[in-house]
């Protein structure tokens, strides 16, 4: 399977989570392309509505060649990152025939709402949306935090 993982990260937690997912999928024999979205301009923490945030995405990846698309980002202000949302709204148009899964990292809460926001855009683009995953980035040792969510995501992606 050819899999795209597209993320926005600010603290590095989402990147670490995405790298663990990528490494597991590669170990299972899949081809995986991991892209971190880069921005130009000022990215607000999500308090100002998305249309008023003054930034653009420098490197929006095309997704036509991929069978499955994973998108991830941090939770900001109990919502999905405005960067990942802008990418989904403006740059992801046609995911018909593709499966998609969203994942988020968060300090305390808001993961469910962020996943619903991302999933709504994935569904609007025509994807078959798989159950997503929210990872708390506080209060647990790093290795214990990553292993179970990574296994769940890879199981869903691989149909196990």
Helix/strand/coil (H/E/C) assignment for every residue in 63-128: CCCCCEEEEEEEEECCEECHHHHHHHHHHCCCCCCCEEEEEEEECCCCHHHHHHHHHHHHHHCCCE
pLDDT at 160: 67
What's the burial of 131, exposed, middle or buried (CB within 10 Å: 0-12/13-18/19+)?
Answer: exposed
Structural domain harbouring 42: 2-157
Q: For residue 142, with 0-12 CB atoms within 10 Å meaning exposed, 13-18 middle and 19 or more buried, which class applies?
A: exposed
CATH number at residue 95: 3.40.50.360
How wide is the angle at C-alpha 70 spanned by C-alphas 57 and 8, nearest 5°? 35
Give the angle subtended at the CA of 125 by the CAs of 64 and 87, to the nearest 5°: 75
Number of domains in the chain: 1
Q: What is the per-residue pLDDT for 8?
A: 94
Ramachandran area for residue 110 (φ above 0: left; ψ -120 to 50: alpha; else beta) = left
Residue ranges for the chain with pLDDT beneath 50? 48, 51, 141
What is the reported pLDDT for 56? 84
pLDDT in tens, 66-95: 999 999 999 988 889 999 999 999 899 899
- Alpha carbons 143 and 17: distance in angstroms, whole number: 11
What is the model's pLDDT at position 141?
45
pLDDT at 109: 78
pLDDT attached to residue 100: 97
């Amino acid at each position: 399977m050819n899999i795209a993982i597209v993320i926005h990260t600010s603290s590095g937690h989402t990147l670490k989570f995405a790298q663990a997912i990528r490494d597991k999928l590669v170990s299972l024999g899949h081809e995986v392309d991991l892209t971190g979205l880069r921005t130009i301009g000022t990215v607000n923490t999500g308090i100002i509505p998305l249309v008023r945030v003054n930034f653009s995405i420098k490197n929006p990846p095309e997704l036509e060649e991929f069978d499955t698309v994973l998108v991830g980002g941090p939770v900001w202000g109990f919502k999905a990152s405005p960067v990942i949302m802008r990418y989904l709204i403006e740059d992801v148009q046609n995911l018909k025939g593709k499966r998609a899964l969203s994942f988020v990292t968060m300090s305390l809460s808001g993961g469910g709402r962020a996943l619903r926001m991302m999933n709504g855009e994935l569904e609007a683009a025509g994807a078959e949306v798989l159950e997503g995953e929210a990872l708390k980035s506080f209060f647990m040792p790093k290795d214990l935090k990553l292993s179970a969510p990574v296994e769940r995501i890879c199981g869903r992606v691989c149909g196990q």
